[in-house]
Chain A
Amino acid sequence: MNQNIERIEVFLDESKEPLQVLTSPPFKVKLDTRQIPDGPHTLRVVTTYKGGQVEEEIIDFEVDNLPSPFIDGIDDGQQVRGEVEFEVVTGDYAAPKSKGGLSVVGAVVSAILVLGLVWFYFAFSPSVTDVVKGQAVEAAGEGAAAAVEGDAAAGKELFAAQCASCHGANAEGAFGPALAGNPIVENAASFDKIVKEGTNAGMPPFAQLTDKELADLRAYLASLGGAEAAPAAEPAAAAPAAEAAATVDPAVMSEGETVYLTNCAACHQPNGEGLGTFPALAGNANLADANLVIDRILNGAGTMPGFGGQLDDQKVAAVATYIRNSWGNDFGPVTPAEVAAKR
């Protein structure tokens, strides 16, 4: 601060009387612009030093306390005729600022509301539950299965068609374990689950069996009791018409079909489509190799058991001919001599 300052006089506009006289710091001037009219003004600050020297500073400024009116409805230079209506819009500088938009709390609440509603819909809506139901693991209906009365005779036919090739004609066990007298038969839930879902030990799933058919199977197996072995069952059901090649003897095809339905259909399915890990025979190019087919039937491969001990050359040739000439396959016949050569 300058010690040489004697006084500072502040004049407004052309006034001769100073608005304020400052003699000691701080040299602060307070001017209430509401007391002077809107428009251009001049502030003259005269500083007098102790030596008598004078300095003058002039500041131009503009006061605008009252907002100008805005005319809405008629423009500058606009041509008008007849009755004219317009509005004079005035502002208010002193009015408090209006808060626009959402507050933080409002935003959070509305977000929770909207997202929560979406979440609740997808978590509890029955229509979404239906979608989830479509993805449910199909478990064997335990209660339902137990309620169904089994028919041992029907179960016997079913067993011969679907199970005998692995579990033996009389459920005495072969490639698969013995089922006659097996305690698993008494446990409906476990039995149904194993049959429907298969096992890791190589048994394929038989999901196509109904609860009634499972009950029939259990009734039949329970009737065996493990002691006496029932006579071998006849092959089931009328076979699908085989499309035999011209050079294939229909009698051989018929015999092959019988052998197939008894020994092979449980895994490879009556229609030759295969099941799970068991390969399809229909449309299988590997069947073109007659030696491979004979070898597989005689000796098996992977989880497939060999049938060389159970089937004679005639039957092996017949079933090989059948699978090579059915379901659209057309690879020609296999003779018993070829089978004998491979033994």
Chain B
Amino acid sequence: MYRNDTVLPFFGILFGVALWYMAYLDGVHIQNLLGHTPEELSVGQLGLITFGIVFFLYGAIGYISAFLEGSELRPGRHEAEGGVAPVILTIVLTLILVALSGVFVNAIAYGLTEGPVKSSFLGQLAAGIFLIMALLLVIYKKHFVDDEVLAEDEHSEVPW
């Protein structure tokens, strides 16, 4: 039986956080050796952060799957629950999404006419926009999309 365990995702996120912390400790060590904080990340830090992100994403995907489909897929039709709360949440998130995209355009326009805007600010806006879009998709799938799980013979005709 197919399982959406939360065991692997848990360790994925744990390893991700641990790698991230190692990158931080690496930075502290470099700072101690140099006597000051360098402006750029070291190669080691970049590698640790990259693998940290990979593990973290792996864990996040696992948790989202478990949330959307349950820990175990059971054959049959699964109708979406719907409900008022997800509708309200969707409306609120949509308004925030539209507001953020408005601010983003405002910042771009300001950058074009007045002067440069901090790239970290634009980055945070974009991250917020993408996170809310992902959240909307999760809510839509969870509450408004029907599912059907088909059981297949153990010795099915699929060669693999």
Q: Are B95 and A118 in contact (CB under 8 A)?
A: yes
In chain A, residues 249-288, which have Cβ atoms closer than 8 Å to a Cβ of chain B?
Answer: 277-279
Q: Flag if B116 contacts A119 (CB, 8 Å).
A: no
Beta-carbon contact of B106 and A123 below 8 Å = yes
Q: Is A304 a contact partner of B35 (Cβ separation < 8 A)?
A: yes
Q: In the complex where A115-B95, A129-B110, A279-B35 touch, is A137 in contact with B116 (Cβ < 8 A)?
A: yes
A302 to B114 alpha-carbon distance, docked (Å): 38
Task: Report the minimal beta-carbon distance from B62 to chain A, rounded to whole angstroms.
Answer: 33
Q: Which of A115, A122, A136, A302 contacts B103 (CB 8 A)?
A: A122
On whether A277 and B39 interact (CB within 8 A), knowing A122-B106, A135-B121, the answer reads yes
* B35 close to A133 (CB less than 8 A): no
A119 touches B99 (CB 8 A): yes
User: Would you call B34 an interface residue if the criterion is a C-beta within 8 Å of the partner chain's C-beta atoms?
Assistant: yes
Q: A277-B36, A304-B35 are in contact. Are A118 and B106 (CB under 8 A)?
A: no
Q: Is the CB of B107 within 8 A of A139?
A: no
Q: Are A278 and B36 interface neighbours, CB within 8 A? A: yes
Given the interface pairs A118-B98, A123-B102, the reply to whether A135 lies near B107 with Cβ below 8 Å is yes
Q: Which chain B residue shows the least CB distance to A137? A: B116
- Are A128 and B106 touching (Cβ within 8 A)? yes
Indicate if B42 sits at the interface (CB-CB under 8 A): no
Return chain B residues, CB-CB under 8 Å to A200. 39
Chain B nearest CB from A310 CB (Å) reads 20
**Cβ of A139 and Cβ of B99 under 8 Å apart?**
no
Q: Measured between alpha carbons, how far is A303 from B36 in the docked complex, in Å? A: 9
The answer, yes or no, to whether B105 is at the interface (CB within 8 Å) is yes
Q: How far is the CB of B58 from chain A (nearest CB, A)?
A: 33
Pick from A115, A124, A129, A277: contact of B98, CB below 8 A: A115
Establish whether residues B34 and A118, one from each chain, have CB atoms under 8 Å apart when the complex forms: no
B39/A128 in contact, CB under 8 A = no
Out of B35, B37, B94, B106, name the residue touching A132 (CB < 8 Å). Answer: B106
Kindly count the residue-residue contacts between A and B in the assembled complex, taking CB atoms under 8 Å apart. 75
**Chain B residue at minimum C-beta to C-beta distance from A300:** B35
With the chains together, A103 CA to B106 CA distance in Å?
33
**B106 touches which of A129, A137, A296 (Cβ 8 Å):** A129
**In chain B between 104 and 157, which residues have their CB closer than 8 angstroms to a CB of chain A?**
105-107, 109-110, 114-118, 121
Chain A residues near B35 (CB-CB < 8 A): 279, 296, 301-302, 304
B50 in contact (CB, < 8 A): no
**Interchain CA distance A123-B104 in the complex, whole Å:** 7
* Residue-wise interface mask of A (120-134) relative to B, using a CB-CB cutoff of 8 A (1 in contact, 0 not): 111111001101110
Our pick among A122, A139, A302 for the contact of B116 (Cβ within 8 Å) is: A139
Contacts of A125 in B (CB 8 A): 106
Taking each of B98, B109, B115, B118, which has the highest tally of chain A beta carbons within 10 Å of its own beta carbon? B98
Instruction: State in angstroms the CA–CA spacing of A140 and B114 once bound together.
Output: 13
A302 CA to B95 CA in the complex, in Å?
50
Contact A119–B101 (Cβ < 8 Å) = yes
Chain A residues whose CB sits within 8 angstroms of the CB of B117 once the complex forms:
132, 135-137
Interface residues of B in 32-69 (CB under 8 A from A): 34-39
How far in angstroms is the closest Cβ of chain B from A329? 17
The one of A124, A277, A301 in contact with B37, judged by C-beta atoms closer than 8 angstroms, is A277
In the complex, what residue of chain B is closest to A303 when comparing beta carbons?
B36
Most chain-A Cβ atoms within 10 A of its Cβ — which of B34, B38, B103, B114?
B103
Give, as a whole number of angstroms, the nearest-CB distance from A273 to chain B.
14
Docked Cα-Cα span, A304 to B35, in Å, equals 10
Please name all residues of chain B whose beta carbon is closer than 8 Å to the beta carbon of A278 when the two chains form the complex. Answer: 36
Task: State the Cβ distance, A306 to closest chain B Cβ, in Å.
Answer: 13
Bound state CA distance, A277 and B38, in angstroms? Answer: 7
Q: Which residue numbers of A lie inside 8 Å of B, CB to CB?
A: 115, 118-125, 128-129, 131-133, 135-137, 139, 200, 277-279, 296, 301-304
For this complex, 20 residue pairs linking A to B, each with C-beta atoms less than 8 Å apart, are: A115-B98, A118-B102, A119-B98, A119-B101, A119-B102, A122-B102, A123-B102, A123-B109, A124-B106, A129-B110, A132-B106, A132-B117, A135-B107, A135-B121, A136-B116, A137-B116, A278-B36, A279-B35, A301-B34, A304-B35
B interface residue numbers (CB < 8 A to A): 34-39, 94-95, 98-103, 105-107, 109-110, 114-118, 121
Beyond the given pairs A121-B102, A122-B106, A132-B103, 4 more chain A to chain B contacts, judged by CB atoms under 8 angstroms and listed by A's residue number, are A119-B101, A122-B103, A128-B106, A132-B106
